[in-house]
Amino acid sequence: MSKKVVIIGGEGNGGVVASCIEDNRNRFGDTEWEVIGFINDFETEVDGYPVIGKLADIPKLLAETDYYFSWAIHLVGRSVKTMEMFNEVNIPDERLATIIHKSAFIGSKTEIGPGCMVMAGSYVGPLTKLGKCTFIMANCSIGHNVTTGPLCHCSVGTIMTGYSSLGVCADMAIGAACLAYVKVGDYAMVGARALATKDVPEKEIHVGTPAKLLKRVRED
């Protein structure tokens, strides 16, 4: 029997989660997950799925159902707020859905935290550790011995070289890359197509090649 999952978010990241599950079911016969609907404070329907509640309804759903949850809210440039929202709903690890597309490569001795999603065509190298609810979008290359904190987001085409790392709720934007041993700090971001050749301090957004400070993330 499929496990029922509720996606928290909208048509952006949330739609990606739903399409990952749908493709696994339709092309690969993987029926582990079934999307029941979405949690969204503003819409009544997302990508054809019903919205079954708001963020404030999550505690009731946790208590009264056996649903699993996929956290798909990620506020670009406002990662501090993303973490605050996630902590407020307080979903137990055992109720977080870990979703991996069947075309993704997962290396040996890799640790995938609860609630993570790895999308189609992505490579996650051996001895890598993905923190809770980290999203690896399509066609990413996450090298060996990489570590991420919780709620990190690697957008399409991200490249992380071996031994690099992301802190808490850190971002790699579309096509961003970081060299070996580079550390992207808590709530920090490497911008689109940027190349991080040195550490990115916490709560800073770095852009360009080589990546340099653009501004700090918003904390409201």
Residue ranges per structural domain of the chain: 3-95, 99-206
Burial-class residue 1 by CB neighbours within 10 Å (0-12, 13-18, 19+). exposed
What is the CATH T-level fold of the domain 3-95, as seen in this structure?
Rossmann fold (3.40.50)
Q: Given this model, what pLDDT does residue 1 score?
A: 84
Q: Which long-range contacts (CB under 8 A, 24 or more apart) does 168-176 make?
A: 168/83, 168/131, 169/79, 169/80, 169/82, 169/83, 170/79, 171/74, 171/76, 171/79, 173/76
CATH number, span 99-206: 2.160.10.10
Which residues of the chain fall below pLDDT 50?
A: none
Phi, psi of 72 (to 5 degrees): -125, 25
pLDDT of residue 77: 86
pLDDT of residue 220: 80
Do the domains at 3-95 and 99-206 have one common CATH topology? no
C-alpha count within 13 angstroms, C-beta hemisphere, residue 83? 23
Residue 214: alpha-carbon gap to chain centroid: 23
pLDDT for res 76: 87
Give pLDDT, residue 31.
97
